[in-house]
Each structure stands twice: as structure tokens, then as C-alpha cells.
């Protein structure tokens, strides 16, 4: 199996698990503040990744000249991304948050153009458009809530997208030098340190904390943080960040389907059409990439 195929499988698994993460985050926010939840999930992830790294690699050190880049990756891709996203989720409906997170591939395609000088192709542009429209239809457009709070929430969710794009491009060169496991471990550690600094100002309330909360926290820490970041780092090593971003828009589909089984919600016609749009965008961009590889 080629690394490209493995990367597609990896990013699909990321979408699957992150699709469930919205539900687990909502559950955990009963006891945790947005900052403390992020701290504990990445503390768990860092511990898991440390033991995995010790078991799989003899040398766990990194070059001193790369420390700053790892620190910035931890700051942007872990601390800023989850700080902005978790705060936004408290201010916005889940559907509205999902719509703005769906702008990720649009930001990525512009970043690709300005950073990597990659041209705008018809396939990429059409895939991004289909992906954003599809995510909007899947999530719905719930405008309930205070207008000032909503505007702040939208600003925060857009900042989380920008933070993730910055992380993706900063992390990409590290994948050429280090294993995905080592890169993920150090990104997680530095992100956790930033959340540790903020923890005294954002303490959780463990009153009534139960097994449901613990299982959801472990799911966020072990699967959604340690495993998914590892898979994402592997994916951006072999396929473009734009393609990974388009795949990420499969998350709302997973969230909606999960809500059907867990919360007994129903899928309406517009959501079904949106799902087709997103799947079509993924199919279009992957077929385009196949043709590019075969022609090279």
C-alpha cells in the first residue's frame, strides 16, 4: 500500500474521530472550562505519546534549532486552535460553528497560493466550493442567540481556522525531518505547557464528575488528540494541506450521523444533499490528485 493511500486512510480516520469530538466536548464542558479541558486532553495525549515514542524510537531528542518551530506549532496548532474553538463553541450553536470551520479548505487554498506559490486549479477551487456549501447544508444555519455574542463567536472560530492553517504549514517541514510520532509528541507537549500557564485562571469544577465524563475525556485525549494528531501529521507528510482540509469537512457528516444514533436526531433532505456535496468534493480532489501523480 502506497503512502498516499495510507495518508487518505489516515485523514479519513481523523475526520471520523473528530466528528465525534464535538459531542464529547459538549459533554466535558459540564465540568471543564474551555482552557482546562484542552489542558487535560493534551496532558493525556502527551503521556500516551511519550511512552509510544520511548517504545518505538531509541533517540527521542530533537535538534536545538527546531525547538522554536515546535514551540510555535504547539502554540498555534494546539493552544490557539483549541482555545479559540472551545470558546467559540460556548458562544455559537454547533451548526454555526461547523459552517465556519468548513472554511478551512478555502483558507488553505489561499495559503497554498501565497506560501507555496501553488496555482488555483479548477478541481481545487470547485472542490473547496462544494465542500463549504455541503458543510453548510449538513450543519444547517441556526442563527439563534445574542447578536454580539454570535459575532464574537464567529471571530473566534475564524481565528481558530487561521491558527490551524498556520500550524499545518509550520509543521509540514518537520515531517520531512522527524517521524510523525516524534513531531506529534513535541507539538503536544509544548501545547500542553501553554495551557498549563493558563490553568490557574480557568480551573475545572469536578463536582458531579462521573464515568461518562471520564470516558469522554479519555476519548478526547487518547484518540482525538494523540492518535488523530499523529495521523494528521502523517497525512500532511504525503498529501497536500489543501486536500487534507477538504477531507476535514467530512467531519459534520460524522457528527450528524453520530447524533442520529446517540441523540436520536433525524437527517433532513438538505443535510443529505450537503453530505453528497462534501463527498463529491473529496472525490473530485482525489481524482484530480491521481491524474497529477500519474502524469508526473
Element (H, E) at 211: helix 211-218
CB 219 within 8 A of CB 105: no
94 pLDDT above the threshold of 90: no
- pTM (2 d.p.): 0.79
Q: Which tens digits make up the pLDDT trace of 208-262?
A: 899 999 999 999 999 999 999 899 888 888 887 777 877 777 777 777 777 677 6
Higher-confidence residue of 165 and 94: namely: 165
Give me the pLDDT at residue 224, please.
Answer: 92
Burial track 162-196 (b if 16+ CB lie within 10 A, e otherwise): bbbbbbbbbbbebbeebbbbbbbbbbbbbbbbbbe
142 pLDDT above the threshold of 60: no
Give me the pLDDT at residue 145, please.
Answer: 52
Give me the pLDDT at residue 275, please.
Answer: 77
Q: Give the pLDDT band of residue 192 (cuts 50, 70, 90).
A: very high
Give me the pLDDT at residue 227, please.
Answer: 93
Give me the pLDDT at residue 41, please.
Answer: 92
Q: Give the pLDDT band of residue 279 (cuts 50, 70, 90).
A: confident
Q: Cell 501523480 sits at which residue?
A: 293
Q: Give the pLDDT band of residue 46 (cuts 50, 70, 90).
A: very high
Higher-confidence residue of 109 and 224: namely: 224
Give me the pLDDT at residue 15, please.
Answer: 86
Give me the pLDDT at residue 265, please.
Answer: 62
Residues 6+ positions from 81 with CB-CB distance below 8 Å: 160, 163, 164, 167
Burial of residue 290 (number of CB atoms within 10 Å: 0-12, 13-18, 19+)? exposed
- Angstrom distance (rounded) from CA 26 to CA 219: 13
Q: How crowded is the C-beta side of 123, counted as CA atoms within 13 Å?
A: 13
Amino acid at each position: 500500500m502506497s503512502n498516499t493511500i495510507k495518508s487518505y486512510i489516515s485523514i479519513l480516520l481523523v475526520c471520523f474521530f473528530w466528528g465525534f469530538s464535538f459531542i464529547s466536548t459538549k459533554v466535558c464542558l459540564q465540568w471543564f472550562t474551555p482552557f482546562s479541558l484542552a489542558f487535560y486532553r493534551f496532558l493525556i495525549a502527551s503521556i500516551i505519546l511519550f511512552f509510544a515514542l520511548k517504545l518505538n524510537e531509541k533517540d527521542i531528542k530533537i535538534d536545538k534549532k527546531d525547538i522554536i518551530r515546535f514551540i510555535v506549532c504547539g502554540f498555534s496548532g494546539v493552544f490557539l486552535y483549541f482555545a479559540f474553538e472551545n470558546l467559540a463553541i460556548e458562544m455559537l450553536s454547533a451548526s454555526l460553528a461547523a459552517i465556519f470551520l468548513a472554511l478551512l479548505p478555502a483558507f488553505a487554498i489561499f495559503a497554498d497560493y501565497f506560501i507555496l506559490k501553488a496555482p488555483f486549479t479548477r478541481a481545487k477551487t470547485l472542490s473547496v466550493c462544494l465542500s463549504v456549501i455541503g458543510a453548510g447544508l449538513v450543519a444547517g444555519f441556526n442563527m439563534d442567540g445574542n447578536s454580539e455574542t454570535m459575532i464574537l463567536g464567529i471571530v473566534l472560530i475564524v481565528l481558530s481556522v487561521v491558527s490551524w492553517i498556520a500550524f499545518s504549514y509550520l509543521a509540514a517541514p518537520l515531517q520531512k525531518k522527524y517521524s510523525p510520532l516524534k513531531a506529534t509528541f513535541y507539538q503536544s507537549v509544548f501545547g500542553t505547557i501553554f495551557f498549563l500557564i493558563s490553568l490557574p485562571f480557568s480551573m475545572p469544577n469536578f463536582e458531579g464528575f462521573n464515568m461518562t465524563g471520564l470516558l469522554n475525556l479519555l476519548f478526547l485525549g487518547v484518540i482525538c488528540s494523540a492518535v488523530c494528531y499523529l495521523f494528521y501529521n502523517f497525512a500532511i507528510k504525503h498529501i497536500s494541506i489543501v486536500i487534507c482540509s477538504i477531507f476535514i469537512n467530512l467531519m459534520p457528516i460524522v457528527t450528524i450521523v453520530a447524533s442520529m444514533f446517540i441523540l436520536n436526531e433525524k437527517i433532513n433532505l438538505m443535510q443529505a444533499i450537503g453530505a453528497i456535496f462534501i463527498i463529491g468534493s473529496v472525490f473530485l480532489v482525489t481524482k484530480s490528485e491521481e491524474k497529477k501523480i500519474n502524469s508526473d
